[in-house]
Amino acid sequence: MPPTRTQLSQAYPIDSSIDADGRLQLGGCDAVELAREFGTPAYIVSEDDLRARAQAFVEAFRTRTKDFDVLFASKAFPCTAIYRVLAQEGIACDVASGGELSLALRGGFDPARIYMHGNAKSVAELRFARRAGVGHIVIDNHDEIERLEAVVDDGEPQPVLLRVTPDVRGRTNDKISTGQADSKFGFSIAQAPAAIARVQGSDRLDLVGLHMHIGSQILELEPFRLAIEAIAPLGDFSTYNLGGGLGVAYTADQEPPRIADYVAAKVDAVTRVLGPGKRILDEPGRALVANSTVTLYTVQSVKRNVSTWVGVDGGMSDNLRPMLYDSVYEAQVADRFGGGTLSRLAGKHCESGDVIVREVELNDPRVGDVIVTPATGAYGHAMANNYNGVPRPPVIMVSHGDARVVVRRETYDDLAARDVE
Ligand code: LLP
């Protein structure tokens, strides 16, 4: 029976498949050939997948409301090529630091459509945002109000949103839950009225609305609705930024809500609870980029003691998520999908916690095999690091049989590039 698309879980990019010889194809390119050409580890991004998800968000809003914007929460995958593709798709951008702002500008985002976040923005970052003409700054705390007023001494008031925490929790890892009252982000519902009054009284700041973000990798819609209900008593504003948070499938058995259903839930709740005609902003990060990307590794060792340990040439330097959040990933031998050998997929780093997948069925894994882990586009490259002096992987974009390097692999010289002695 010829292999079909359905053999791949939904964690893979939309334009991936297994060919008649059982080899993984990504954006029209053979995964093992990509590994040979560009080396491993490597992040492989499907450009079509990225564009399709951006279009799905925009389309879902367009069919339900007139006044909206979809913002790429760029912390999920901050690199020029990704910014560029998403800017071309007509979406706007959220940045969480001066560094992300600088990358977003390089990637071609109109500064007027950039929203700047952060619970500890420095004066330098606020000045940079102001000088660059950032459209909106999202105010997080009282200290920042003072600091921003001091920076805005040169003319037009700065449009701002005020971040509030609705005290609603989605079911997700504590480390990525942000909507609780006792959060390092934003003003609690109890504190918000005073903060709103203070910003409304400022002649240097122009409060256009509220912002909230309850957390990330949320696989149900109810918390998003409850959060909208929770902020309703804070007043009537023209604009509401509802944050991101839509979860994605990391494995075949996870079933996240569809983008269209997530958007419908949010738009319907805003219309019902906050009233019609509101400008609705949404800030997806993970749901835009996670499934666009896979990571390719090469097996360096196969050790059998109590378990079978399959050691690859990457790990917690290119994917911190299993170690930080106990996130579960799938893995396969890229040209021999299937199971048979219960394995622990281990990274190359000098600590026992460096396990990429705790339990995975691989098909007779051998040294030299290329291993693929899907759904690494969100917060993979973003949180990559140089632990053990391991150079960070390249980002390769694939589309219709073409593959191009959009971030080159780090070199050993790069590792010493900032050393002054
Ligand atoms: N808006 C704000 C203000 C945020 O803080 C975040 C994520 C987003 C939007 C996008 O959320 P998303 O749609 O991606 O769920 N490193 C963690 C995720 C941290 C998320 C931080 N904020 C991880 O790898 O799971």
Q: What pLDDT, on a 0 to 100 scale, did the predictor assign at position 180?
A: 77
Query: Rounded to the nearest 5°, which phi and psi values hold at 8?
Result: -95, 140
Give the count of alpha carbons within 13 A of 187, CB side only: 26
**Token pair 């292999």 in the structure block, residue:** 3
What residues contact 269, with CB distance under 8 A and at least 6 apart? 224, 225, 228, 229
- pLDDT tens-digit readout, 20-65: 999 999 999 999 999 999 999 999 999 999 999 999 999 999 999 9
If one residue of 57, 283, 385 were mutated to test the ligand 1 pocket, choosing by the most ligand atoms within 8 A of its CB, it would be 283
Domains in the chain with CATH codes: 5-46+290-416 (2.40.37.10), 48-289 (3.20.20.10)
Whether 39 and 318 have beta carbons less than 8 Å apart is answered as: no
Q: Is residue 350 flagged as an active site residue?
A: yes
Give dist(CA 234, CA 167) in Å, integer: 13
Average pLDDT on 97-106 reads 98
| CA-320 nearest atom, ligand 1 | 24
**Token pair 């998520």 in the structure block, residue:** 321
Using pLDDT thresholds of 50, 70 and 90, give the confidence band for residue 189.
very high
Whether 92 and 114 have beta carbons less than 8 Å apart is answered as: yes
Residue ID of nearest Cα to ligand 1 atom 19? 176
If one residue of 211, 212, 213 were mutated to test the ligand 1 pocket, choosing by the most ligand atoms within 8 A of its CB, it would be 213
Q: How far is CA 406 from CA 40, 46, 47, 85, 410, in A?
A: 15, 12, 11, 12, 12
Ligand 1 pocket, Cβ-based, cut-off 6 angstroms: 73, 75-76, 94, 117, 176, 213, 216-217, 243-246, 283-287, 321, 325, 378-379
User: In angstroms, what is the span from residue 284 Cα to ligand 1's centroid?
Assistant: 8
Q: What pLDDT, on a 0 to 100 scale, did the predictor assign at position 155?
A: 79
The rounded mean pLDDT for the chain is 96
Q: What pLDDT, on a 0 to 100 scale, did the predictor assign at position 1?
A: 39
Q: What pLDDT, on a 0 to 100 scale, did the predictor assign at position 208?
A: 98
Q: What pLDDT, on a 0 to 100 scale, did the predictor assign at position 2?
A: 41
Residue 167, pLDDT > 90, answer: no
